[in-house]
């Protein structure tokens, strides 16, 4: 049928397990009666209502996902983590996509609705393709896993306004035990198939898990983070008169019971699994990439496809990385000369790394230094906020706060990160910083990271996407990594055009350091997972080519080892957005409007890169015709 063929053409770049027909349409297929504007409008109303209906159905699979959106549906439930539940969701998704293809004629849709159709199908195809690799990824590692996520979720996202909310909180504490054990079952099955996390990953899991269940009511001493959170939320209910002191005491007893009977045993099971399987961890002096796993080469190629939303090979990505490292080095040389440093670029890197007592380059490793970092990050974000209307027509409504990572999951030198707020703005976005070791947090990197994680980076893009009203709801929550991280890296570069940014040459060097960091990722990620590099080889390449500290370099490389392919998305996405801007500037000349370009990129939510290109091309043609 025409709609299948047309959809396949739009998504020909997607390599999926669904076996799409990528042949060009025949002349007979092209010669179809013209579709009227009235028909397109009617179809638009129908398909968007269908998308919203199906999106709501999909949300019901994830009570925790509903909470992230600020909703209190299924507020007393924790997601199911079994393979059977995952299969149920996939079956639903495949059936819904088949229904979409049968109900709607692709050629009778508007350009905007075709994009929604293509994104829905793309997401389904990628999910189907990923089924083959369900046991390849690590369930527990130092970066991810329920051991750190669950308490973070309960503390920061389960809001308690009523007695019912607190009862739901207690129910969730019990449910966490069940979910954790389901995750352990999958991890054990993966291990039985020859997939074992590195020793450093298990060490991180054990450390995080022990921190979560240290302190009252688990051990003697100060309250644990989760218990302190529950106590605080109950105390607030008592203070407002929502519950009596007697009821509050009863709630606290229920919290203690849930933590000791359900929550703690699950964490002990995680620790036991990690300690047991650590004996099977790969030799740290040998290759540790995804390609060493069963079916590992296909697994890594699948991850490159999903993370970059392209069909680029590992070799192509590796070569782009090498070329970008060389280009950025030349710009770094200019700044080295500007500040009057005599010596090689590698000598300059070493000076910056080793000058940890120089307050020009590092904050004091004290609580005052940590607060100064948060204050300064907030200040540079506030400066960007003032000038946003000069570069954007669409602006985010949600606020942003800068916070230190909670002690139970904080790691020296680990990457900063962002948690989105709610679509209605009731909870702000949070930019989290790891500040346990300030000697791993150079001042020159503060500004560029704030732009990446905050504004105009992640917070702005994700908040705008969540607040969109002109697209189906499912698109407001889409998270294509190459687009999301590509935009954040583009934002670091874009910030140069804002007043009062990167005024210190060392901060501008930090910007280049961040960009070369992402270029290096293309080299080391593909090196580790497709070329047999060891951890030490990857760490050394990082140190040879950037001013990064060894603590940062090792933390980053260990992150790439446990998250194959993810690190390649940043530079690939950034370069695509830059090329689209260059194309628009070249074709539109005086008609080019930076605000309209950015609104075009952000105004459709996160997109696969070739769909983004199609959207920008449509905008260019509209401007030309105006």
Over residues 39-57, the pLDDT tens digits come to 999 999 999 999 999 999 9
Could you tell me the pLDDT band of residue 127, with boundaries at 50, 70 and 90?
very high
pLDDT tens sequence across 200-216: 999 999 999 999 999 99
**CA nearest to 538, candidates 318, 296, 274, 277:** 318
Could you tell me the pLDDT band of residue 411, with boundaries at 50, 70 and 90?
confident
List the structure tokens of 233: 């939320």
List the structure tokens of 132: 């083959």
What is the C-alpha to C-alpha distance for residues 606 and 484, in angstroms, rounded to an integer?
A: 6
Return the pLDDT at 499: 97
Could you tell me the pLDDT band of residue 408, with boundaries at 50, 70 and 90?
confident
Per-residue pLDDT averaged across 282-286, rounded?
A: 91
Return the pLDDT at 465: 94
pLDDT tens sequence across 184-204: 999 999 999 999 999 999 999
Percentage of residues in the chain with pLDDT exceeding 70?
95
b/e burial code for range 316-348 (CB count within 10 A of at least 16 → b)? ebbebbeebbeebeeebeebbeeeeeeeebeeb
Per-residue pLDDT averaged across 108-133, rounded?
A: 96
Per-residue pLDDT averaged across 436-450, rounded?
A: 93
Would you say residue 34 has pLDDT above 70?
yes
Per-residue pLDDT averaged across 136-149, rounded?
A: 93
What is the C-alpha to C-alpha distance for residues 410 and 404, in angstroms, rounded to an integer?
A: 8
Return the pLDDT at 410: 87
Per-residue pLDDT averaged across 586-596, rounded?
A: 98
Return the pLDDT at 170: 98
Q: Which of 18-22, 377-381, 561-565, 566-570 has the lowest mean pLDDT?
A: 18-22
Peptide bond into 581 cis (omega under 30): no
Would you say residue 82 has pLDDT above 50?
yes
List the structure tokens of 398: 């949600």
Would you say residue 16 has pLDDT above 50?
no
How far lies 600's CA from each of 7, 29, 326, 593, in Å?
A: 22, 32, 32, 11
Per-residue pLDDT averaged across 436-461, rounded?
A: 94
pLDDT tens sequence across 83-106: 999 999 999 999 999 999 999 999
Per-residue pLDDT averaged across 462-474, rounded?
A: 93
Per-residue pLDDT averaged across 449-469, rounded?
A: 95
Would you say residue 4 has pLDDT above 90?
no
Centroid of chain to Cα 304: 15
**CA nearest to 622, candidates 593, 577, 9, 608:** 593
* Phi-psi label, residue 70: left if phi above 0, alpha if psi -120 to 50, beta otherwise: left
Centroid of chain to Cα 575: 18
For 161, residues 6+ apart whose C-beta sits below 8 A from its C-beta are: 242
For 386, residues 6+ apart whose C-beta sits below 8 A from its C-beta are: none
- What mean pLDDT is reported for the chain? 92
What is the C-alpha to C-alpha distance for residues 275 and 281, in angstroms, rounded to an integer?
A: 10
Could you tell me the pLDDT band of residue 32, with boundaries at 50, 70 and 90?
low
Per-residue pLDDT averaged across 593-607, rounded?
A: 97
Would you say residue 549 has pLDDT above 90?
no
| Alpha-carbon radius of gyration of the chain | 25
Would you say residue 261 has pLDDT above 50?
yes
* Phi-psi label, residue 284: left if phi above 0, alpha if psi -120 to 50, beta otherwise: alpha
How many residues in the chain?
626
Return the pLDDT at 424: 84
More confident of the two residues 222 and 479: 222
pLDDT tens sequence across 563-577: 999 999 999 999 999
pTM for the whole structure: 0.87
Return the pLDDT at 493: 98
For 493, residues 6+ apart whose C-beta sits below 8 A from its C-beta are: 511, 515, 574, 578
List the structure tokens of 206: 């054990």
């Amino acid at each position: 049928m025409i709609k299948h063929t047309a959809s396949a053409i739009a998504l020909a770049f997607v390599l999926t397990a669904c076996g799409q027909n990528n042949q060009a349409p025949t002349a007979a297929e092209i010669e179809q009666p013209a579709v009227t504007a009235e028909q397109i409008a009617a179809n638009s109303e129908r398909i968007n209502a269908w998308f919203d209906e199906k999106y709501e159905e999909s949300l019901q699979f994830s009570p925790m996902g509903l909470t992230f959106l600020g909703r209190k549906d299924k507020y007393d439930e924790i997601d199911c983590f079994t393979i059977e539940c995952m299969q149920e969701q996939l079956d639903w998704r495949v059936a819904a996509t088949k229904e979409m293809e049968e109900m709607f004629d692709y050629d009778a849709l508007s350009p905007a609705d075709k994009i929604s159709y293509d994104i829905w199908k793309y997401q389904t195809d990628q999910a189907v393709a990923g089924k083959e690799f369900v046991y390849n990824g690590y369930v527990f590692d130092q970066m991810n896993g329920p051991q750190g996520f669950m308490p973070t979720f309960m503390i920061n996202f389960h809001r308690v306004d009523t007695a019912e909310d607190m009862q739901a909180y207690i129910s969730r504490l019990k449910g966490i035990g069940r979910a954790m054990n389901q995750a352990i079952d999958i991890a054990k099955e993966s291990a039985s198939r020859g997939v074992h996390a590195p020793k450093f990953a298990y060490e991180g899991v054990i450390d995080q898990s022990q921190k979560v269940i240290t302190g009252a009511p688990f051990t003697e001493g100060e309250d644990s983070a989760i218990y302190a959170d529950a106590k605080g939320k109950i105390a607030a209910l008592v203070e407002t008169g929502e519950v009596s002191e007697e009821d509050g005491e009863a709630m606290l007893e229920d919290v203690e019971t849930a933590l000791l009977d359900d929550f703690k045993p699950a964490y002990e099971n995680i620790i036991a699994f990690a300690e047991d399987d650590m004996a099977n961890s790969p030799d740290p002096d040998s290759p540790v990439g995804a390609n060493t796993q069963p079916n590992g080469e296909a697994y890594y190629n699948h991850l490159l496809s999903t993370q970059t939303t392209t069909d680029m090979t590992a070799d192509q990505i590796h070569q782009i990385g090498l070329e970008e490292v060389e280009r950025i080095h030349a710009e770094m040389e200019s700044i080295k000369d500007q500040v009057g440093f005599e010596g090689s670029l590698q000598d300059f890197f070493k000076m910056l790394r080793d000058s940890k007592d120089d307050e020009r380059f590092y904050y004091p490793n004290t609580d005052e230094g940590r607060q100064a970092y948060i204050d300064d990050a907030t200040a540079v974000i506030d400066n960007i906020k003032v000038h946003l209307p000069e570069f954007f027509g669409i602006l985010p409504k949600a606020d942003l706060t800068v916070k230190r990572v909670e002690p139970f999951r904080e790691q020296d030198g680990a990457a900063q990160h962002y948690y989105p707020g709610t679509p209605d703005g009731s909870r702000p976005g949070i930019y989290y910083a790891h500040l346990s070791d300030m000697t791993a947090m150079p001042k020159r990197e503060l500004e560029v990271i704030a732009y990446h994680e905050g504004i105009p980076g992640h917070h702005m893009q994700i908040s705008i996407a969540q607040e969109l009203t002109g697209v189906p709801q499912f698109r407001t929550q889409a998270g294509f990594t190459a687009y999301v991280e590509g935009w954040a890296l583009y934002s670091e570069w874009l910030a140069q055009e804002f007043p009062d940014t990167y005024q210190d040459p060392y901060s501008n060097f930090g910007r280049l350091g961040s960009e070369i960091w992402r270029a290096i990722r293309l080299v080391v990620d593909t090196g580790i997972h497709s070329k047999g590099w060891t951890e030490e080889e990857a760490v050394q390449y990082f140190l040879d080519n950037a001013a990064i500290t060894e603590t940062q370099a090792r933390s980053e490389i260990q992150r790439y080892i446990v998250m194959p392919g993810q690190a390649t998305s940043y530079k690939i996405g950034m370069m695509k957005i830059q090329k689209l801007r260059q194309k628009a500037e070249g074709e539109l000349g005086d008609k080019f409007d930076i605000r309209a370009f950015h609104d075009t990129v952000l105004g459709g939510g996160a997109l696969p890169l070739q769909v983004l290109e199609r959207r920008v091309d449509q905008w260019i043609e509209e401007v030309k015709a105006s």
